[in-house]
């Protein structure tokens, strides 16, 4: 095994681990099954990448998000670490090459979707791979109690049977106590397993709830009072454009983002916002996964999410630099009513699900008893327009088809054009001699792309056309010709979501959906929605404390910076009592730094509520400091 600190520095450029990372890594290195619950942006990938590099062999990573899989694959490749992602939509030839390299080559990471584990063929191939550890990302998806249950995650237990000695690490940003238990159970964690949970408390993030029918003016008020970059989350695509245009008319630079945009537009909008050329991005929840911008000063929810888990993840994209930031949710009474009614809309009748299934099969031209393990690019809005479908109902029905494991759906993600030469060098040379029109193109390809005989490489047809002094269409046509001649395999870029049929098409009469299963999920949705409604409507508790309690973290102090705590702070008028608390805090922190919870339990009960508010005041004044480990200490410079 390699030294983990050397690996961290060599491959990732960091001198030290973040809180809990080293403990989690050591647990995996001891071959203990490990559950790691770290907040969004908390460095989860390092927790499995470092032990995988230390072990050697192949790390199998199961993830439901193609965009994140591709992003991590490319980051590892840029560091010289051989990695691959088996995602829907890649060719069979590319799949075979990746699998062959995982069996015989020196690949270190293989990313797969959970649906891939449903394939008996893949499982037979996987058994021949040198898997040394297994990483499960978004692990809450394995739990039926989780907010994003994916039945295909249950197939992971089959992988454990193939590699009983390989330790498993399960990672997620949010999981309630019952979900944590369910993850460990479903993944068949062995005796001696360990759980690491970074506090759900974000001391620098102020949670604020506002009931206001005039949301536009409230947003403007927030952005004028809180400087810096911002994300505004809404529920539909049209609203992203409307709010963005309205903000620009009020001299606040803003742009919009949603999954319906083409990849180039999404990339450009994201880059401008990341580089602070755009102050505000107005987006659906398609925006945020994998985005790690540290200086987001406010996250505004213009529309309310379905549950506290989603809200916590989205709000948590603010203030990752540990400086003060604000998570502001603006709601109207109609918003609360819509969430209460959403249960019925999210779980359509079985007859409606069957109708959508038939429409989907017809839209994709799949005959009965055909389609098994076939993947199709899927234009959802064209599908809805073709059959005059309500988009919300149609999407709910598609999700039911996913739960029934009839189909798998992946998000829209840009897949760049790729190329691999499949002929040997002599065959290629003979072709160049015989057909002059291919000669220059082949020479440019060989000069521009290394390893093209062994691996698929990303290409840019426009750049190739410039090098050849021709147009892009000519280059594309030549590449297609060479593919037909079996000289190379050219895969054009794509930008659609994808649907994979996990079973052949059946007639509507032979479709079966378990009504008890649907009813149970419907009830669980209502429980989560009710918990979120309670959070929004409460005016008697610290927001941060409510979130932490929801996720099973108790005995914390109030945050001192949410809307409730700020109101309490305004009511803190007894200066004499405040001075007593300050003196007590200074005594406790005189010789050592303490976590807020450690300090909190050392103070008298009668001071505990107000002590958290006093701590916040002292932090704001700079009298106290908060280090990277979130420990409090006295600012000695102020006392010199």
pLDDT per residue as tens digits for the range 356-375: 999 999 999 999 999 998 88
Say what the pLDDT of residue 573 is: 56
Determine the Cα–Cα distance for residues 309 and 183; give it in Å rounded to an integer: 16
And the tokens for 74?
């490319």
pLDDT in tens, 242-269: 999 999 999 999 999 987 787 778 888 9
Q: Are 27 and 194 in contact (CB under 8 A)?
A: yes
Determine the Cα–Cα distance for residues 159 and 166; give it in Å rounded to an integer: 10
Predicted structure pTM score:
0.78
Q: Are 440 and 447 in contact (CB under 8 A)?
A: no
Is the pLDDT at 628 greater than 80? The verdict is no
Q: Is 328 helix (H, G, I), strand (E, B) or coil?
A: strand
**491 beta partners:** 418
Q: Of 96-100, 120-124, 490-494, which gets the smallest average pLDDT?
A: 490-494
276: left (phi over 0), alpha (psi -120 to 50) or beta: left
Return the CATH number of 340-414+496-524, one of 2.40.50.140, 1.10.10.10, 1.10.3210.10, 1.10.260.40.
Answer: 1.10.10.10
And the tokens for 20?
């809990």
205-331: CATH superfamily: P-loop containing nucleotide triphosphate hydrolases (3.40.50.300)
Say what the pLDDT of residue 604 is: 82
> How many CB atoms lie under 10 A from the CB of residue 438?
20
> How many CB atoms lie under 10 A from the CB of residue 49?
26
Mean pLDDT of 421-431: 91
Say what the pLDDT of residue 557 is: 77
* Residues of the chain above pLDDT 90, percent: 51
Mean pLDDT of 174-180: 90
Supply the mean pLDDT for the chain.
89
pLDDT in tens, 474-523: 999 999 999 999 999 998 887 778 898 989 999 988 998 988 888 888 88
Is the pLDDT at 639 greater than 60? The verdict is no
In Å, what is the CA distance from 260 to each residue of 237, 264, 411, 536? Answer: 8, 12, 11, 30
Alpha helical stretches, state H, 226-349: 237-249, 263-274, 308-315, 333-346
Quick check: do 4-197 and 205-331 share a fold? yes
Return the CATH number of 4-197, one of 3.40.50.300, 3.30.70.60, 3.40.50.2300, 2.30.40.10.
Answer: 3.40.50.300
Say what the pLDDT of residue 199 is: 86
Say what the pLDDT of residue 150 is: 81
* Residues of the chain above pLDDT 70, percent: 97
Contacts of 233 (CB under 8 A, 6+ apart): 283, 284, 285, 299, 300, 301, 302, 303, 305, 314
Mean pLDDT of 223-229: 93
Determine the Cα–Cα distance for residues 28 and 50; give it in Å rounded to an integer: 10
Q: Where are the domains of the chain?
A: 4-197, 205-331, 340-414+496-524, 418-491, 563-639
Is the pLDDT at 638 greater than 70? The verdict is no
Say what the pLDDT of residue 289 is: 66
630: left (phi over 0), alpha (psi -120 to 50) or beta: left
Is the pLDDT at 603 greater than 90? The verdict is no
Class at the top of the CATH hierarchy for domain 563-639: mainly alpha
Mean pLDDT of 608-613: 74
Q: Are 314 and 288 in contact (CB under 8 A)?
A: yes
Say what the pLDDT of residue 555 is: 67
And the tokens for 340?
């209460």
């Amino acid at each position: 095994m390699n030294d983990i600190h050397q690996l961290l520095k060599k491959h990732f450029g960091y001198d030290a681990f973040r809180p809990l990372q080293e403990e989690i890594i050591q647990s995996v290195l001891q071959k203990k099954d490990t559950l790691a619950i770290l907040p969004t942006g908390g460095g989860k990938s390092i927790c499995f990448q470092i032990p995988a590099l230390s072990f050697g062999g192949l790390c199998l990573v199961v993830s439901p998000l193609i965009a994140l899989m591709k992003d991590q694959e490319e980051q590892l490749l840029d560091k010289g670490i051989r990695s691959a992602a088996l995602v829907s939509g890649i060719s069979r030839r590319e799949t075979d090459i990746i699998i062959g390299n995982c069996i015989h080559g020196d690949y270190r990471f293989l990313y797969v979707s959970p649906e891939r584990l449903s394939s008996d063929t893949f499982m037979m191939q996987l058994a021949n791979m040198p898997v040394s550890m297994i990483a499960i990302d978004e692990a809450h998806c394995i739990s039926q109690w989780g907010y994003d249950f994916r039945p295909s995650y249950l197939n992971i237990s089959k992988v454990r049977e193939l590699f009983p000695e390989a330790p498993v690490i399960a990672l997620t940003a949010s999981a309630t106590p019952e979900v944590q238990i369910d993850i460990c159970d479903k993944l068949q964690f062995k005796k001696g397993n360990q759980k690491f949970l970074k506090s759900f408390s974000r001391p620098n993030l102020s949670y604020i709830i506002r009931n206001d029918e005039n949301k536009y003016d409230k947003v403007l008020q927030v952005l004028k009072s809180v400087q810096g970059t911002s994300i505004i989350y809404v529920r539909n695509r049209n609203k992203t454009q409307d709010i963005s245009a309205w903000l620009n008319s009020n001299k606040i630079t803003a742009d919009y983002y949603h999954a319906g945009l083409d990849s180039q537009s999404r990339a450009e909008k994201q880059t401008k916002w990341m580089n602070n050329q755009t102050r505000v991005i107005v987006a659906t929840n398609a925006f945020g996964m994998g985005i790690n911008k540290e200086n987001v000063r406010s996250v505004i929810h213009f529309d309310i999410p379905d549950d506290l888990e989603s809200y916590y993840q989205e709000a948590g994209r603010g203030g990752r630099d540990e400086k003060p930031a604000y998570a502001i949710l603006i709601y109207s009474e109609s918003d609360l009513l819509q969430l209460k009614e959403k249960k019925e809309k999210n779980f359509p009748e079985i007859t409606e699900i069957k109708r959508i299934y038939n429409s989907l099969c017809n839209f994709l031209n799949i005959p009965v008893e055909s389609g098994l393990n076939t993947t199709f690019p899927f234009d959802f809005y064209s599908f809805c327009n073709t059959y005059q479908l309500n988009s919300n109902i149609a999407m709910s029905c598609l999700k039911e088809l996913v739960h029934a494991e009839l189909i798998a759906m992946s998000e829209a993600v840009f897949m760049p054009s790729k190329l691999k030469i499949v002929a040997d060098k002599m065959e290629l040379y003979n072709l160049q001699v015989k057909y002059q029109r291919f000669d220059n193109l082949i020479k440019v390809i060989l000069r521009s792309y290394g390893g093209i005989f062994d691996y698929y490489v990303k290409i840019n047809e426009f750049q190739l056309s410039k090098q050849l002094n021709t147009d892009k269409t000519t280059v594309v046509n030549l590449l297609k010709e060479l593919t037909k001649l079996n000289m190379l395999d050219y895969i054009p870029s794509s930008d659609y979501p994808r649907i994979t049929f996990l079973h052949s098409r059946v007639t509507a009469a032979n479709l079966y959906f378990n009504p008890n299963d649907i009813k149970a999920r419907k009830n669980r949705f209502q429980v989560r929605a009710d918990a979120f409604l309670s959070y929004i409507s409460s005016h008697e508790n610290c927001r941060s404390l409510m979130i932490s309690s929801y996720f099973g973290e108790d005995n914390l102090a109030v945050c001192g910076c949410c809307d409730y705590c700020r109101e309490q702070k305004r009511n803190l008028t007894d200066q004499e009592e405040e001075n007593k608390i300050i003196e007590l805090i200074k005594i406790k922190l005189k010789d050592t730094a303490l976590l807020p919870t450690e300090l909190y339990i050392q103070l008298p009960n009668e001071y505990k509520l107000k002590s958290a508010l006093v701590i916040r005041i002292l932090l704001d004044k700079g009298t106290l400091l908060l280090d990277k480990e979130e420990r409090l200490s006295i600012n000695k410079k102020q006392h010199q």
